[in-house]
Amino acid sequence: MAESLLRDRTGRAFGRLVDRYLDMPEPVAPDIECVRDLRVPMRDGTVLLADRYRPRGAGPLPVVLLRTPYGKHKPDIKLFAGVLVRRGFQVVAQNVRGVFGSGGEFHAFVHEKDDGLATAAWLRARAWCDGRLATAGASYLGHAEWAIGPYLDPPLEAMC
């Protein structure tokens, strides 16, 4: 119990430092909760793993989707998720096909359109998603965004 409380306090303090460094507006949701290893089914039956970060106790909110081959557990993903969640968004970080526990085989750039569209449909069908969806990321994450951006209906709210 004491270890968990210390980790929560340390995480909040670090989040405040990151927000200050990035010159962000005041957070609207200081407490973050994370649900790990959500199982997201693809159209061919393959299951991809994702983590969902959200403001603790919040109702349905927009989702920012990050799809990565580098691992949803990486510090930069958690850092970016924290900044957005403290501003009232949910963040879903998903390992793409064939990496870090997601099913199937990884073939760079091959499955991103189909898997991204299936993930977007799955997200919008969740009661905790208000239907609005955005994507974010650079490098391969950026490719994963562009692979679905032109094809979603309704369209993305934003791409970063």
The pLDDT tens digits for 130-156 are 999 999 999 999 999 999 999 999 999
Quote the pLDDT of residue 5. Answer: 45
* Residue 158 belongs to a domain: no
* Residue 126 belongs to a domain: yes
Contacts of 147 (CB under 8 A, 6+ apart): 109, 112, 113, 116
Write down the pTM of the prediction. Answer: 0.89
Domain that holds residue 105: 2-149
Specify the CATH number for the domain of residue 105: 3.40.50.1820
* Residue 155 belongs to a domain: no
Q: pLDDT tens, 103-123?
A: 999 999 999 999 999 999 999
Cβ–Cβ contacts within 10 Å for residue 93, how many?
Answer: 27
Quote the pLDDT of residue 6. Answer: 44
* Residue 159 belongs to a domain: no
Quote the pLDDT of residue 99. Answer: 98
Largest Cα span, the chain: 48
- Domain count of the chain? 1
- Report the alpha-carbon distance of residue 96 to residue 118 in Å, rounded: 12
Alpha helices in the chain (DSSP H): 2-21, 75-85, 112-124, 140-148
Quote the pLDDT of residue 9. Answer: 56
* Residue 26 belongs to a domain: yes
pLDDT beneath 50: ranges in the chain: 5-6
* Residue 22 belongs to a domain: yes
